[in-house]
Amino acid sequence: MTIENISQAKVAGGWHKQYTHTSSSLNCNMRFAIFLPANASESNPVPVLYWLSGLTCTDENFMQKAGAFKKAAELGIAIVAMDTSPRGEDVADDAEGAYDFGLGAGFYLNATQAPWNRHYHMYDYVTKELPSLIEEHFPVSDKKSISGHSMGGHGAITIGLKNQDMYQSISAFSPIASPINCPWGQKALGLYLGDNKEAWLEYDSSELLKKGSKLPILVDQGEADGFLEEQLKPEYLLSSAEKSGTDIEVRMQPGYDHSYFFISTFIDEHLEFHASHLNK
């Protein structure tokens, strides 16, 4: 698999680099970014935190706004952030250009319905293609954790729960906790997966959590988040964790909203959480 470096900048003693490549999973060109701490080398491969961003975002939102590099460098963790959907002129988009579906809104699933099933296989991209590419081209180990925000928080929890032997830990900021029970999720799952609601359950964090988790999970949610009651619904996660006896920490943070101001406030704690499991 070939990749092309399109930008790079030294930061926190390491490097932030952007790459493009042709994705076999998504049938289009994709872009991702990686932060490599200074101690990463062929003789010292470092673990990786995969970050999944939310609706409308690209790889740049987290890398430019989260303020994660100093702590990641201190902990010796690489960070990989990818785009939130396939892109390109021939990639299907919402007919009305809505922000919550189509381009920028891949929901980290494998679409089964036309025309979305031609390109929208973000689940395969995150769990198979991208890790293989990262481990082939960069000085990283096969130890990885996963985190994300909003739609990406949904992606991080569902992917982590469905691949518990692949990751060491899971965290999320403001995740869409139960897509089957909110407008964003119902629209996306219905169009990407069709009317069979049994298929929807495989991409619902709260439903998957009912089966339990051996992985540690940390969630931060702002109490002043404008999407909290209608779209995010963290109470579903708590209820599922109680039913399955899963140890999950959901921290409600007074005064914080849905923005990267919120993420940047607590990202160091999430990195320390993941490092404690990646470095075991």
Active site residue ranges: 150, 225, 258
Q: Which contacts (CB < 8 Å, 24+ apart) does range 127-130 have?
A: 127/159, 127/163, 127/166, 128/25, 129/1, 129/23, 129/24, 129/25, 130/32, 130/50, 130/80, 130/82
For 153: left if phi > 0, alpha if psi spans -120 to 50, otherwise beta; the answer is: alpha
The rounded distance, in Å, linking the Cα atoms of 86 and 45 is 29
**What kind and span of H or E run contains 258?**
none
Angle at CA of residue 198, ends 196 and 200, nearest 5°: 85
What is the token pair recorded at 133?
């590419």
The rounded distance, in Å, linking the Cα atoms of 54 and 154 is 9
What is the token pair recorded at 225?
């988040």
Q: In the chain, helix, strand, coil percent, each to 5?
A: 40, 25, 35
The rounded distance, in Å, linking the Cα atoms of 236 and 225 is 17
**What kind and span of H or E run contains 137?**
helix 130-137
**What kind and span of H or E run contains 104?**
none
